[in-house]
Amino acid sequence: MSTFSFDLAATDGRARTGTISTPRGDIRTPAFMPVGTAATVKAMLPGSVRETGADILLGNTYHLMLRPTAERIDRLGGLHSFMNWDRPILTDSGGFQVMSLAGLRKLTEEGVTFKSHIDGSKHALTPERSMEIQRLLGSDIVMCFDECPALPADRDRIASSMELSMRWAARSRAAFGDRPGHALFGIQQGGLEEDLRGQSADALIDIGFEGYAVGGLAVGEGQEAMFGCLDYAPEQLPADKPRYLMGVGKPDDIVGAVARGIDMMDCVLPSRSGRTGQVFTRHGVLNIKNARHMDDPRPLDENCGCPACRGYSRAYLHHVFRSQEIISSMLLTWHNLHYYQDLMAGMRAAIAAGTFAAWQADFHAGRAEGDIDPL
């Protein structure tokens, strides 16, 4: 089996482009990972997700451990076979979802006990159990188990949480074992405190991981604070390993993160927005439910090559959304995912060409223009 590796091909300022190589295929960076929470990207077939340009998907440990269970997926051949996706999959550790349960969970040094949001059944998640679940799923990139406190939080709470996460990171590394062709990523914590982020990075580097994530952001702190943290956090992590910003985000969040040295991102936004009628284009965001689209024969974006833009008018997409037809979620999700992957391809090309600053200016100028005028 071939090994997991990262080749950094070019930089432009702090922005980077390269290739993550895995036995299941290459991941071009900067990379956006569509989220397949329950072993599916909602409203999309796996082949359709691939057609948008996605090299890798994200699966959710918490949801899959509860239903259909990791053990069942393992018996059925692993997550790739189960969901008919033969390319790389990254699974999160389950920590973020468990922490968001608040009143339904109890945190100790050992791990977390919690009640299922589905049926109230009791479960325990520890670094060792998280590694076992992700091994059963067969994911290519595994995330270590951590705690992610919501922001804002006081410094003592952030520091104690970060220190606990670093102890859990060491246990995750030990439990992961020797798995050629698979990678374990550590997760930097520390809130918005630069020194705590530095301590976290040092602890993770001492343990040693195949990649590193910037965790604990996009949890309520706002874009300005997030960018302030990203002005230093990625640089605290090894330059020769992939850097993953978890749970981000809106198009301008993604561009700003790449400009600050991030290589990988994921977010439910493009697929969730597609189901609610929110559409991303080069000229910003539009809502297909608005009456202005009712008689508009034009596509969502005349320069987009997705099926929604090639074959359907705004008037039709408005109609099927208002009529609550399933095809609305299918077409709008496809468009949004296509837009996100075009965004990543544009950044990769610009970084390689050394024109990323000009590309960024064009990106922001296009969004500032707003949607095309109504007819």
Catalytic residue annotation:
92, 266
Radius of gyration of the chain (CA): 21
Contact 220, 152 (CB under 8 A): yes
How far is it between the farthest Cα atoms of the chain? 62
Residue 118 DSSP SS3: coil
Residues facing residue 284 across a β-bridge:
281
The Cα 165–Cα 183 span in angstroms is 19
Q: Tokens for 201?
A: 């990075």
In total, the chain counts a number of residues equal to 375
In the block, tokens 């990972």 appear at: 33
The Cα 23–Cα 330 span in angstroms is 30
Contact 281, 371 (CB under 8 A): yes
Classify residue 5 by burial, with Cβ atoms within 10 Å: 0-12, 13-18, 19+: middle
Residue 247 DSSP SS3: coil
- Element spanning 45, H or E: none
Name the percent of the chain in helix, strand, coil, to the closest 5. 45, 20, 35
For residue 221, the 8-state DSSP code is: S
The pairs formed by 197-201 with CB atoms below 8 angstroms and a separation of 24 or more are 197/229, 197/232, 197/233, 197/236, 198/236, 199/162, 200/162, 200/165, 200/166, 201/233, 201/236, 201/237
Q: What are phi and psi for residue 188, nearest 5 degrees?
A: -75, 135
The amino acid that residue 326 corresponds to is I
Contact 234, 217 (CB under 8 A): no
Name the H helices within 191-325. 194-207, 223-230, 251-259, 269-275, 307-311, 314-322
Contact 301, 71 (CB under 8 A): no
